[in-house]
């Protein structure tokens, strides 16, 4: 349903609490180094979850805004006549099933175009991303110049926000004016 250009967007989800007893300057450097490692670890976990359709792990690492976008995409797809028969055949009746179905389709395409194991693909994503901190609780993540995600520290856990990266491809598929407006304001 959605373009394969958003495949890499699904790889960035994160969780990481960090603590330090060092000096403020040393603590910031150390914390950012630890956070970078944690974001890379999370990118690995997310990509593996994506390729194995582990919806629970995907959701656990996602920012609320990203989950809201997925819910709106499901609502739009459910109301779109061209997808109703497909959803009925696949037994899709809720957002988690929609997310699983979506991940299965994109993961299959990804693994066919790049025949590697989920572990290898996840390692590549984790190691090939560039992480730039905007603040101690906000980082920008870029994968090979293809787009970006944001990592936000929420309650000592990194959550990845893919909303801005995914909005364009999602909006191309959504015809309902009300849902389009709701997606645009996310």
- Judge contact between 138 and 153, C-beta under 8 A: yes
Three state DSSP letters for 59-125: HHHECHHHHHHHHHHHHHHHHCHHHHHHHHHHCCCCHHHHHHHHHHHHHHHHHHHCCCCHHHHHHHH
pLDDT, tens digit (0-9, with 9 covering 90-100), for 30-87? 588 999 988 888 878 888 888 899 999 999 998 999 999 999 999 999 988 888 888 9
Region 140-166 average pLDDT: 84
Q: What percent of the chain has pLDDT over 70?
A: 83
Residue 184 lies in a domain: no
85 lies in which domain range?
4-177
The structure tokens listed for 112 are: 């066919």
Residue 49 lies in a domain: yes
Residue 12 lies in a domain: yes
- Sorting pLDDT into bands at 50, 70 and 90, what band is 24? very low
> What pLDDT is attached to residue 28?
55
pLDDT at 17 over 50: no
Residue 71 lies in a domain: yes
Residue 165 lies in a domain: yes
CA 70 to chain centre: 10
Residue 95 lies in a domain: yes
Instruction: Give CA–CA dist 130/36, Å, rounded.
Output: 9
Q: Is the dihedral of CA 174, 176, 182, 185 positive or negative?
A: positive
pLDDT, tens digit (0-9, with 9 covering 90-100), for 46-59? 888 888 999 999 99
* Percentage helix, strand, coil for the chain under 3-state DSSP, each rounded to 5: 65, 15, 25
Residue 182 lies in a domain: no
Q: Enumerate the β-bridge partners of residue 141.
A: 131, 149
Domain count, the chain: 1
> What pLDDT is attached to residue 15?
26
Residue 140 lies in a domain: yes
pLDDT, tens digit (0-9, with 9 covering 90-100), for 99-112? 999 888 888 888 88
Instruction: Give CA–CA dist 90/81, Å, rounded.
Output: 15
> What pLDDT is attached to residue 150?
87
The structure tokens listed for 23 are: 């000096």
């Amino acid at each position: 349903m959605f373009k394969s250009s958003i495949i890499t967007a699904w790889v960035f989800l994160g969780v990481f609490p960090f603590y330090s007893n060092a000096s403020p300057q040393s603590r910031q450097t150390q914390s950012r180094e630890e956070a970078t490692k944690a974001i890379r670890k999370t990118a690995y976990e997310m990509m593996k979850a994506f390729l194995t359709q582990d919806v629970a792990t995907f959701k656990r690492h996602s920012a609320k805004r990203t989950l809201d976008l997925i819910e709106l995409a499901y609502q739009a797809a459910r109301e779109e006549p061209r997808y109703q028969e497909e959803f009925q055949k696949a037994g899709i009746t809720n957002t988690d099933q929609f997310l699983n179905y979506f991940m299965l389709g994109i993961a299959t395409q990804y693994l066919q175009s790049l025949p590697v194991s989920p572990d290898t693909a996840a390692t590549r994503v984790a190691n090939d991303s560039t992480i730039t901190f905007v603040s101690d609780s906000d980082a920008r993540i870029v994968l090979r110049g293809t787009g970006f995600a944001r990592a936000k520290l929420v309650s000592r856990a990194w959550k990845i926000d893919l909303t801005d990266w995914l909005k364009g491809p999602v909006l191309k598929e959504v015809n309902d004016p009300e849902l389009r407006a709701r997606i645009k304001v996310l």
